[in-house]
Amino acid sequence: MALVKHGKIQEDAWTRIENDSLPLGRPLLLTKEEWCCLAATLRHWEQPLGLLLEGSDSLDDLRPVLDRFRLIALNFPKFTDGRAYSQARLLRKRYGYSGELRAVGNILQDQFLQMHRCGFDSYEVADGKVAEVWAVAIHRYRGFYQSAERGQRREGAATLPVEQPAAAAWAY
Amino acid sequence: MYRYDEFDFAFVKQRVDEFREQIERRLAGELTEEQFKPLRLMNGLYLQLHAYMLRVAIPYGTLSSCQMRRLAWIARTYDRGYGHFTTRQNIQYNWPRLQDVPKILEALAEVGMHAIQTSGNCIRNVTSDPFAGVAADEIEDPRVYAEILRQWSTLHPEFSFLPRKFKIAITGSPHDRAAIRVHDIGLRMLRDESGAPGFEVVVGGGQGRTPVIGETIRKFLPSQHLISYLEAILRTYNLLGRRDNLYKSRIKILVKQVGIEEFRRQVEQEWEAIRDGWQLDLPDAEVTRIADYFAPPRYEPQEAIDLSFATAQRQDPAFAQWVRCNTFAHRQAGYAIAVISLKPEGGIPGDATAGQMERVADLADRYGFGEIRVTHEQNLVLPDLRKADLPALWQALVEADLAVPNVGLITDMIACPGLDYCNLANARSIPVAQRIGQRFADRALAEELGPITLNISGCINACGHHHVANIGLLGVDKKGREFYQITLGGRADEEAAIGDIVGPAFSYDEVVDAVESVVTTYRGQRQQGETFLQTYRRVGIKPFKETLYGTG
Ligand code: SF4
């Protein structure tokens, strides 16, 4: 596993609960269930906290506590399971979450752009080599047809006025 | 019609480049077929029984003559000289080679076309009324919003991996020629009491193995809110739709499962939250900019009634029949809409040769304003014809074998590719359509029967729309043999209904006789001036059962 963030391989500092013990001194990534059990215990926890969410996890009830998390990781059980795209947009736009948003699980490099546009910042991938294609993927399109977290909808005619069809390209 | 500007041209070009690289990675073994599959599907590329199939989008069924010529050129250069127009206003090429696909897509991009999202679990090519902008009964031109939706849905970052495919249809006329009630979302344009434009929004319709007539989720949505409302529906579906079972993952199943009231509540709640803050809806200036593309062409004002059109009909009964069956009322006096039937006797429904495509393009330039439409019944339309030109146009169509006068009649069948091409099929569709075409080849008889829709699907996926046909045929497998189940009374228009199963299925050899028996029963029961549907509604299924299976 490698962590790609802004097109670079990065060290993953986050740890998980293992064997029923809370690791001290490192940022801690919790599932929603763990968070629900431990919220009281962690009230004065000083290390950064993160949440690992599944597609079936509701977000509404997390709203009041979202600012406690520096990282939210959204899991893709399969790369064809697109729920996390909607979760990402809700977290960003509706719930105002501004911490790091990470895609984990089964993801393809061909999905970097749409993840980026939905508000993801980092990607846990099987092969670190794909870090190189991230920048290419992000910059492939000069503009988009709809607004999202990144890349707004183009407005207005691009260069060519309506009355004048693109003669060269149009009439071949 | 809409014309690509530099942005649009650049966008599809970038998409072609991206897909070319993906194909190269696939050929180099860097992508598995499992990984490649959703990527190629989102670019319209299927793997079929014998070869790849490329499905090219014809957005809301509108083509320029120039684009039609390019489709013909592709058919000739990369396929076997023909193309197949589908029930979703697309065209399919059945024999492209994988390595040629980027070249085909480049050729399409040059004329402002693409194959984006003609397949895959994403928002598919938006379909509409083939008479949009010219129909005499139209309230609003749906093409403006169809184009807005085409743009909005193209490479939508959030809705590209939905639980299942998602189809949107839009109409602007009270008479629904776009079958909006059997789509995931159907939009019907209307005006409220104050005259403001908006949409009735229908959700959860569909065919396939669980046919459902969609329900109205909102009676009136002001048109400026269209995109935010659709995002609310799509997001609700994306998060809640089932992903564990392919056959239960369409939005219709979700709506059934939670109930339309609860689904509406969730969508409206989401919409309230995003409507104002998310800035999804287009500013008026942008809507106007797109609407300007659809301004009516320069029609010649009618100064006198041209009698030559009436005279020609009197003199030539074949022309008169074609006019009766294949032309429709235009909103502009002195003009008509003509449908070019792609259902010749014994032909393959929806197939057109490269030569025919070029001929239609030439005729569109000569007699129309260079515009062509594709219908979901797999026919072509010339939308803007002077009535005075119809005799000459008809002559030219006769020469090109394109003048079959059967639009809306029993031989104007919809048939899916079936067992001849499709790896999911139980039975053949095309040869059955061909045999039915031969059985009802008598043009006077076919016209005398009045409007009858007859649709054939090779399996329960219902690509041939058999559920919503007056007479539907569904291919089923009985111990390795091809059988056909018959349904009666379905319809796809504003009173959409699912057909009733008439009884046990018929074998491949029996099915054409069975169809004839249905037609004979109708003729026996019919009262003066009744259509098939009217008779069926009045007498019910019983007399048909009796003649098909005997009494008892
Ligand atoms: S209905 Fe079945 S046989 Fe026909 S095209 Fe669809 S999947 Fe194939």
Answer yes or no: is B133 within a domain. Answer: no
Question: Do B284 and B146 share a structural domain?
Answer: yes
The first and second tokens of residue B238, run together, are 């994306």
pLDDT surpasses 90 at B278: no
A·B CB contacts under 8 A: 130
The whole-angstrom separation of Cα A162 and Cα B208 is 41
End-of-domain residue from the set B90, B110, B130: B110
Quick one: pLDDT at residue A129?
83
Contact at CB, B151 and A158, closer than 8 angstroms: no
How high is the mean pLDDT of chain A?
A: 87
Q: Which residues of B touch A142 (CB under 8 A)?
A: 7, 10-11, 14
Question: Do B281 and B186 share a structural domain?
Answer: yes
From A48's Cα to the closest Cα of chain B, the distance in A is 28
| Cβ–Cβ contact B243 with A under 8 A | yes
Which residue from A minimizes the CA distance to B25? A110
Q: Structural domain tally of chain B? A: 4
Question: Do B434 and B456 share a structural domain?
Answer: yes
How high is the mean pLDDT of chain B?
A: 95
Question: Do B101 and B40 share a structural domain?
Answer: yes
pLDDT surpasses 60 at A168: no
Amino acid identity, residue B379? N
Q: DSSP assignment, residue B45?
A: E
From B160's Cα to the closest Cα of chain A, the distance in A is 7
Provide the pLDDT confidence category of residue B158 given band limits of 50, 70 and 90: very high
- CATH number reported for the structural domain that contains residue B198 in this entry: 3.30.413.10
Cβ(B319)–Cβ(B172) under 8 Å?
Answer: no
ipTM: 0.93
Question: Is B224 near ligand 1, meaning CB less than 6 Å away?
Answer: no
Question: Do B175 and B42 share a structural domain?
Answer: no
Answer yes or no: is B1 within a domain. Answer: no
Q: Which of A81, A117, A162 sits opposite B292 (nearest CB)?
A: A162
Question: Is B437 near ligand 1, meaning CB less than 6 Å away?
Answer: no
Contact at CB, A113 and B157, closer than 8 angstroms: yes
Provide the pLDDT confidence category of residue B496 given band limits of 50, 70 and 90: very high
Domain annotation for chain A: domains and CATH numbers: 2-138 (3.20.20.70)
Question: Do B495 and B433 share a structural domain?
Answer: yes
| Dist. CA B376 → ligand 1 center (Å) | 16
pLDDT surpasses 70 at B515: yes
Across A5-19, B295-309, B391-405, the highest mean pLDDT is recorded for B391-405
Quick one: pLDDT at residue A155?
73
| Burial class for A164, CB neighbours closer than 10 Å (0-12, 13-18, 19+) | exposed
Q: Ligand 1, closest atom to CA B423?
A: 8
Q: Which of B110, B121, B289 sits opposite A156 (nearest CB)?
A: B289
Cβ(B493)–Cβ(B177) under 8 Å?
Answer: yes
Contact at CB, B158 and A86, closer than 8 angstroms: yes
Answer yes or no: is B405 within a domain. Answer: no
Contact at CB, B9 and A169, closer than 8 angstroms: yes
End-of-domain residue from the set B67, B91, B110: B110
Answer yes or no: is B123 within a domain. Answer: no
Give residue-wise pLDDT tens across range B522-544.
999 999 999 999 999 999 999 99
Contact at CB, A162 and B3, closer than 8 angstroms: yes
The closest of B355, B481, B346 to B415, measured between CA atoms, is B346
pLDDT surpasses 70 at B552: no
Contact at CB, B274 and A94, closer than 8 angstroms: yes
Question: Is B464 near ligand 1, meaning CB less than 6 Å away?
Answer: yes
Question: Do B267 and B148 share a structural domain?
Answer: yes
The first and second tokens of residue A82, run together, are 């697109």
- CATH number reported for the structural domain that contains residue B48 in this entry: 3.90.480.20
Question: Is B458 near ligand 1, meaning CB less than 6 Å away?
Answer: yes
Q: Which of A55, A85, A158 sits opposite B7 (nearest CB)?
A: A158
Question: Is B350 near ligand 1, meaning CB less than 6 Å away?
Answer: no
Quick one: pLDDT at residue B150?
95
From B156's Cα to the closest Cα of chain A, the distance in A is 7
Look up tokens 């490099």; give the residue. Answer: A109
Length of chain B: 552
The string over B57-86, giving b where at least 16 C-beta atoms fall within 10 Å of a residue's C-beta and e elsewhere, is bbbbbbbbbbbbbbbbbbbbebbeebbbbb
| Cβ–Cβ contact B549 with A under 8 A | no
CA torsion B74-B76-B79-B82 (nearest 10°) is 100
Quick one: pLDDT at residue A158?
59
Give a three-class secondary structure readout of chain A. CEEEECCEEECCCCEECECCECCCCCCEEEEHHHHHHHCCCCCCCCCCEEEEECCCCCCHHHHHHHHHEEEEEEEECCCCCCHHHHHHHHHHHHCCCCCEEEEEECCCHHHHHHHHHHCCCEEEECCHHHHHHHHHHHCCCCCECCCCCCCCECCCCCCCCCCCCCHHHHCC
Cβ(B228)–Cβ(B214) under 8 Å?
Answer: no
Answer yes or no: is B375 within a domain. Answer: yes
Give residue-wise pLDDT tens across range B203-248.
999 999 999 999 999 999 999 999 999 999 999 999 999 999 989 9
Question: Is B427 near ligand 1, meaning CB less than 6 Å away?
Answer: no
Question: Do B424 and B357 share a structural domain?
Answer: no
Question: Do B382 and B424 share a structural domain?
Answer: no
Quick one: pLDDT at residue A77?
97
B3 phi/psi in degrees, rounded to 5: -125, 135
Domain range for B146 = 142-293
End-of-domain residue from the set B293, B328, B348: B293
Adjacent-strand bridge partners of A49: A28, A69
pLDDT surpasses 70 at A160: no
CA torsion B173-B156-B269-B248 (nearest 10°) is 80
Average pLDDT over residues B116-142: 95
Question: Do B476 and B338 share a structural domain?
Answer: no
Contact at CB, B161 and A80, closer than 8 angstroms: yes
Percent of chain B scoring above 90 in pLDDT: 90
Answer yes or no: is B135 within a domain. Answer: no
Provide the pLDDT confidence category of residue A171 given band limits of 50, 70 and 90: very low
Question: Do B277 and B171 share a structural domain?
Answer: yes
Which residues between 41 and 70 in chain B have a beta carbon less than 8 angstroms from any beta carbon of chain A? 66, 70
Question: Is B472 near ligand 1, meaning CB less than 6 Å away?
Answer: no
Give residue-wise pLDDT tens across range B85-117.
999 999 999 889 988 999 999 999 999 999 999
Higher pLDDT, A34 or A152: A34
**Residue bearing the CA closest to ligand 1, atom 2:** B459
Question: Is B424 near ligand 1, meaning CB less than 6 Å away?
Answer: yes
| Dist. CA B544 → ligand 1 center (Å) | 27
Q: Which of B155, B161, B286 sits opposite A85 (nearest CB)?
A: B161
Lowest mean pLDDT among A28-42, A139-153, B522-536: A139-153
Question: Is B462 near ligand 1, meaning CB less than 6 Å away?
Answer: yes
Contact at CB, B14 and A165, closer than 8 angstroms: no
Quick one: pLDDT at residue B489?
98
Contact at CB, B14 and A85, closer than 8 angstroms: no
- For residue B383, what is the enclosing H or E element? strand B380-386
pLDDT surpasses 50 at A167: no
Question: Is B457 near ligand 1, meaning CB less than 6 Å away?
Answer: yes
Answer yes or no: is B134 within a domain. Answer: no
Provide the pLDDT confidence category of residue B551 given band limits of 50, 70 and 90: low
Quick one: pLDDT at residue A153?
82
Question: Is B49 near ligand 1, meaning CB less than 6 Å away?
Answer: no
Question: Do B174 and B281 share a structural domain?
Answer: yes
Cβ(B211)–Cβ(B462) under 8 Å?
Answer: yes
Q: DSSP assignment, residue B497?
A: B
Kindly give, in sequence order, each residue whose CB lies less than 8 Å from that of residue B83, ignoring residues fewer than 6 positions away: B71, B72, B74, B75, B91, B92, B93, B351, B352, B354, B357
| Cβ–Cβ contact B154 with A under 8 A | yes
Q: Which residues of A touch B273 (CB under 8 A)?
A: 94
From B458's Cα to the closest Cα of chain A, the distance in A is 28
Kindly give, in sequence order, each residue whose CB lies less than 8 Å from that of residue B277, ignoring residues fewer than 6 positions away: A93
Pocket test for ligand 1, best of B92, B461, B473 (most atoms within 8 A of CB): B461
Q: Which of A87, A145, A172 sits opposite B155 (nearest CB)?
A: A145
Quick one: pLDDT at residue A152?
80
Quick one: pLDDT at residue B531?
97
The whole-angstrom separation of Cα B206 and Cα B185 is 9
Which residues between 89 and 128 in chain B have a beta carbon less than 8 angstroms from any beta carbon of chain A? 110-112, 121
Question: Is B208 near ligand 1, meaning CB less than 6 Å away?
Answer: no
